[in-house]
Each structure stands twice: as structure tokens, then as C-alpha cells.
Amino acid sequence: MPRTDELPPLADLAARVGAILRERGQRVAVAESSAGGLVSAALLAIPGASAFFLGGAVVYSRRAGRNLLGVTQDDMAHMRAETEPYATFIAGRMRDTLHATWGIAESGAAGPLGSPYGDAPGHVCVAVVGATTRARTIETGDTDRAANMDVFARQLLLLFDEVLQGSAST
């Protein structure tokens, strides 16, 4: 995994994944939490995004998860936010809800304080669900909320790019 200062700019990552999706005729649905919509905005900034972007949601609270994605107490019985299983679940739920080829999601603690779950600021889990499912946990060690939001968005698109590059035959 590249260091934070080695990550490509968000717009470049979005352009790469957008080009791959458009070329393959695939579509993505995005669920964000602590990135606050930065991933969706980066993808939508690409001219012709309607060819690959189906929609996105900022699922920042349990109420949002319940009302936007139909997440129930039973769904959450053995899981908590800001974990790889949760990010994977939400990515899959978003994909299924919008009938997309891919679902991508992140859940983290942007800061400046840690989360109610005990995660330090700068902690995020990112996930991609589709023909391939992958998740990753990142710890920036930073308390800067805006900087973490940017890193969270870039890390989600970086993971998605890696999955897309590895699934060329999908």
C-alpha cells in the first residue's frame, strides 16, 4: 500500500476507474461515510459519468443506513461500523440496491477525535464488492479531518482501481 504522500490525486484516480468502467460497460454505486461524498463528487466530475455512475449515498449514521439502504438491527447484530466486514456489507448493499456491477464503500473516523467505537482518528476501512471482493484498513495517524477525508476517498478509489486492474477479464 502506498504511503499517503504517494497517493495519486483524487481526480486522477476517478478518471482511471471511470475510463475502465466506461470501456467495460460496467457501473458503480458508492456508499461513503467519513469521506462525505468526495468519491461520488470525483466520479461525477468526469464528463459522461452517467455511463458508469449509478448513484451514491453518504451513510453517516445508523439512521441513514436504515433509511437509505434498509440496514436492520439484525444486519448489524454481529458487526459494527468502521470495520472491513461493515464496509464490505455496505458496498454490497449499495451494489444490490442500485443493481450495479460494483459497490464501493468506506467507513472511518476522520477526526479530529476518535469514533464512539474506539477507533483513532485517521482509521478507515474501504471495500469493493463485485466480481471480486476486497477490503482494506488504513490508519493515517493524523487528526486533520479534511486531510483524512481526502485520504479516505483516495484510498477507496485506489483499492477500486487495483481490483479493476486485476479483474481485466471480468
Single pTM value for the model: 0.95
Homologous superfamily assigned to 4-166: CinA-like (3.90.950.20)
The answer to which of 30-34, 74-78, 164-168 has the lowest mean pLDDT is 164-168
Give CA 15 to chain center in angstroms.
16
156-165 pLDDT, tens digit per residue, is 999 999 999 9
Gap between the Cα atoms of 13 and 63, Å rounded = 30
Q: Using a pLDDT cut of 90, give the percent of the chain over it.
A: 89
Give CA 135 to chain center in angstroms.
10
Query: Angle, to 10 degrees, between the axis of helix 145-166 and the axis of helix 10-24?
Result: 30
Check whether the bond before 112 is cis (ω within 30° of 0): yes
97-127 pLDDT, tens digit per residue, is 999 999 999 999 999 999 998 999 999 999 9
Domain segments of the chain as ranges: 4-166
**pLDDT band per the 50, 70, 90 thresholds, residue 146:** very high
Provide long-range contacts, Cβ within 8 A and 24+ apart, for 113-117: 113/143, 115/81, 115/82, 117/80, 117/81, 117/82
More confident site: 47 or 62: 47
